[in-house]
Every structure is written in structure tokens, then in C-alpha cells.
């Protein structure tokens, strides 16, 4: 089976007129190497990747296509997708990148080893995700678009891009005066606001197909707050008990968004009254870097099994060994 893997940041998706941020390149490479290690352990799989010329070449037995001009990336990806049997994108929702890539693969007629475009379109918007999940009766932190009006309540609130990934441009606003100052700093169109939800930041890693979910791990996230700015530094994969409440939440998300496929992450806050959903990541997430070590499961092989017709469900995870994941260089 010929599989094209495109990690957006390291594989040609970043503009040529600016340097690739070191933190994004590191995070992208961590996910890419974890996925490639799993795929290379699957018999009969041949992997093609693209690689930005500004980064060191990959020291792995894969076909690597160097991209010297990112302006040509999309046309190259389209050509390479048509040559593959399956395509596995690792791309952010920001600026519609993941949705565009998913739509391109579906149009090529090749197997998309990621969530369908319809699910990606919903999950790419935090406001749309909250509306859909809330309508299905799932516990979600409310989301509303930013406007000139003060948000409800007295704060604190969390503001972030509606299509953001990770903690990029995510801030804590403590009151109305700070809110008005933040609004005046820059154009805030495309941002959303949520009431701050106290509790433990966590995520769920799961596999999905056709409205079903197979929860793998619950991960404790390392989210810090400095000067009102949130940042994500990794966490402990499998560092929380995969409780019945968390497993039910995973299954509820998959049932509500049946287009979710393969590796999916759900960010949650675990508070005294139980878990509340923050957002859904319809793709491989950073926590996937530690999944195989934590569970013993070859996640890529499990996704390929789920892609079969009929699908072959993953074996239950019998034991979890927590894995510390840090994004520091």
C-alpha cells in the first residue's frame, strides 16, 4: 500500500517569506516521526513524505520529496495524492488548511486516512463545534463570537481564534476593562470568547469510524498561563484514568460527528462536576507521539485496519504506562 504522509508545517505548508518557527517545526516533527515509525512497522506499506528544504532531511527509509518553493506545495500534494493508495495529512484547522487538504484528497478518489471533510468543517470552528455538540446534549463550554459588546458575566473569559490550534493567540481576560483593552489592541474578527472553566486541562485520544469511538487514553495536559497568555508544553499521555464519564464523552462526540475517522483528539476540562468539552481535533494530535509507548498499540496499523471494509476494530488496551511528553527542545 502506497501512503502519502504530509505534515503541514514541516512538509511545505509554511510561507517561504518567513522562517519556520522552531517550536512548530519540533512539534510537527515529533508527530511525523511517531507516525512514520508506526507505518514502517506495517508489512507492505511504502511511504512518501514531503519535506521543506529549510529543514534537515529525514533519516528514515521513506521516499522524501523536497519542497523548495512552498507556493507550489498544493499542486505537488495533489499530484502525489493521485499516485498514492491512501493519504494521511497532519495539518492544523487554522485558515482552513486541514479542510482544504481533506477536500483535495476526497476529490482525488484516494483513501483519506483522516476525518471526512464534513466533520473537519465543523470541528475547524470552535463555535460550530460547541453548537453541534451542545444540541446533542453533550457538556460543552459555551462559545460565542467576539463583538464590541461585553461578554456575559463578570469574567474571567478565555479568548482565542475560532479556527485556532493548540494555544496559539489564546488569552485569559479577567474583567471588562481588560476586555476593552484587548479589543482595542488589534482586529479581533475571527475570535471567539468562552467563560473560563476551572479544572484540570486534559485530552482524550481515540480512534473513530462511522459514529463509533474506541477511546485509547486520557491525557493530562501541561497548559501554563504567563502574563495572561496560555501555552501548551506537552503533558502526560495516559496520565489520567479513562473513566466511564470520559469514555462516554468520547462516544458521544463520535456519534454526533460520524465523519470523524482514525485518530481524533478531544480537549476537555475535568472539573468537580465532571468533564466538559473545549474542542474537537479531527486529526492526529501531539499526544499521539506517546500513544504507542503508553498503550503498546501500533496506532497507524489500527487506523489502516479501521479503513478496511468491513473495518477491523482495535483490540482493547489492556494496560497503560503513562508517557511524559515535553515540547521543549
Helix (H, G, I), strand (E, B) or coil at 249: helix
Model confidence at 148: pLDDT above 80: no
- At residue 168 the predicted structure's pLDDT band, cuts being 50, 70 and 90, is confident
- At residue 166 the predicted structure's pLDDT band, cuts being 50, 70 and 90, is confident
**Which residues are CB-neighbours of 283 under 8 A, at least 6 positions away?**
89, 90, 91, 98, 114, 115, 120, 263, 264, 265
Task: Locate all alpha helices (DSSP H) within 43-116, ordered by sequence.
Answer: 73-83, 97-108
What pLDDT, on a 0 to 100 scale, did the predictor assign at position 35?
A: 98
pLDDT tens figures, 65-91: 999 999 999 999 999 999 999 999 999
What pLDDT, on a 0 to 100 scale, did the predictor assign at position 149?
A: 79
| Distance of alpha carbon 263 from alpha carbon 279, whole angstroms | 15
**Whether the Cβ atoms of residue 65 and residue 80 lie closer than 8 Å to each other:** yes
pLDDT tens figures, 185-241: 999 999 999 999 999 999 999 999 999 999 999 999 999 999 999 999 999 999 999
| Distance of alpha carbon 162 from alpha carbon 143, whole angstroms | 9
Q: Per-domain residue ranges for the chain?
A: 2-114, 144-195, 198-326
Model confidence at 181: pLDDT above 70: yes
Q: Percentage of the chain surpassing pLDDT 90?
A: 91
- At residue 329 the predicted structure's pLDDT band, cuts being 50, 70 and 90, is low
pLDDT tens figures, 5-51: 999 999 999 998 889 999 899 999 999 999 999 999 999 999 999 99
Burial letters for 148-159: b for 16+ Cβ neighbours within 10 Å, e otherwise? eeebeeebebbb
- From the options 3.30.470.20, 3.30.70.870, 3.40.50.720, 3.30.1280.10, give the CATH code of 198-326: 3.30.470.20
Angle of helix 73-83 relative to helix 97-108, nearest 10 degrees?
40
CB atoms within 10 A of CB 95: 13
**Average pLDDT over every residue of 173-195:** 92
What pLDDT, on a 0 to 100 scale, did the predictor assign at position 130?
A: 97
Sheet containing strand 2-7, strands side by side = 63-67, 46-52, 2-7, 86-90, 111-112
Strands 46-52 and 63-67: parallel
- At residue 276 the predicted structure's pLDDT band, cuts being 50, 70 and 90, is very high
**Architecture of the 2-114 domain:** 3-Layer(aba) Sandwich (3.40)
Model confidence at 165: pLDDT above 90: no
- At residue 136 the predicted structure's pLDDT band, cuts being 50, 70 and 90, is very high
pLDDT tens figures, 301-328: 999 999 999 999 999 998 999 999 998 7
Average pLDDT in the chain: 95
What pLDDT, on a 0 to 100 scale, did the predictor assign at position 27?
A: 94
What pLDDT, on a 0 to 100 scale, did the predictor assign at position 164?
A: 85
| Distance of alpha carbon 118 from alpha carbon 103, whole angstroms | 9
Amino acid at each position: 500500500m502506497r501512503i502519502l504522509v504530509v505534515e503541514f508545517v514541516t512538509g511545505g505548508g509554511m510561507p517561504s517569506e518567513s522562517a519556520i518557527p522552531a517550536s512548530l517545526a519540533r512539534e510537527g516533527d515529533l508527530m511525523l516521526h511517531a507516525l512514520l515509525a508506526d507505518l514502517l512497522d506495517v508489512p507492505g506499506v511504502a511511504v512518501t513524505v514531503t519535506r521543506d528544504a529549510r529543514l534537515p532531511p529525514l533519516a528514515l527509509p521513506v521516499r522524501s520529496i523536497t519542497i523548495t518553493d512552498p507556493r507550489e506545495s498544493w499542486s505537488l500534494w495533489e499530484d502525489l495524492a493521485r499516485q498514492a493508495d491512501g493519504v494521511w495529512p497532519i495539518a492544523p484547522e487554522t485558515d482552513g488548511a486541514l479542510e482544504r487538504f481533506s477536500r483535495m484528497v476526497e476529490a482525488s478518489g484516494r483513501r483519506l486516512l483522516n476525518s471526512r471533510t464534513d466533520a473537519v468543517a465543523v470541528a475547524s470552528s470552535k463555535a460550530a463545534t460547541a453548537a453541534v455538540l451542545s444540541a446533542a446534549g453533550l457538556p460543552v463550554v459555551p462559545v460565542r463570537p467576539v463583538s464590541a459588546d461585553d461578554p456575559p458575566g463578570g469574567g474571567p473569559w478565555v479568548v482565542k481564534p475560532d479556527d485556532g490550534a493548540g494555544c496559539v493567540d489564546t488569552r485569559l481576560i479577567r474583567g471588562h476593562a481588560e476586555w476593552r483593552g484587548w479589543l482595542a489592541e488589534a482586529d479581533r474578527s475571527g475570535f471567539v470568547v468562552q467563560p473560563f472553566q476551572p479544572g484540570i486541562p486534559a485530552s482524550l485520544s481515540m480512534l473513530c469510524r462511522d459514529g463509533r469511538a474506541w477511546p485509547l487514553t486520557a491525557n493530562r495536559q501541561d497548559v501554563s498561563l504567563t502574563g495572561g497568555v496560555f501555552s501548551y508544553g506537552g503533558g502526560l499521555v495516559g496520565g489520567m484514568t479513562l473513566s466511564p464519564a470520559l469514555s462516554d464523552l468520547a462516544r458521544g462526540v463520535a456519534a454526533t460527528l460520524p465523519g470523524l475517522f482514525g485518530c481524533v483528539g478531544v480537549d476537555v476540562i475535568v472539573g468537580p462536576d465532571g468533564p466538559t468539552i473545549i474542542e474537537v481535533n479531527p486529526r492526529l494530535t501531539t499526544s499521539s507521539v506517546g500513544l504507542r509507548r503508553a498503550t503498546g498499540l501500533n496506532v497507524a496499523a489500527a487506523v489502516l485496519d479501521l479503513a478496511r471494509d468491513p473495518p477491523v476494530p482495535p483490540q482493547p488496551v489492556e494496560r497503560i504506562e503513562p508517557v511524559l511528553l515535553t515540547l521543549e527542545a
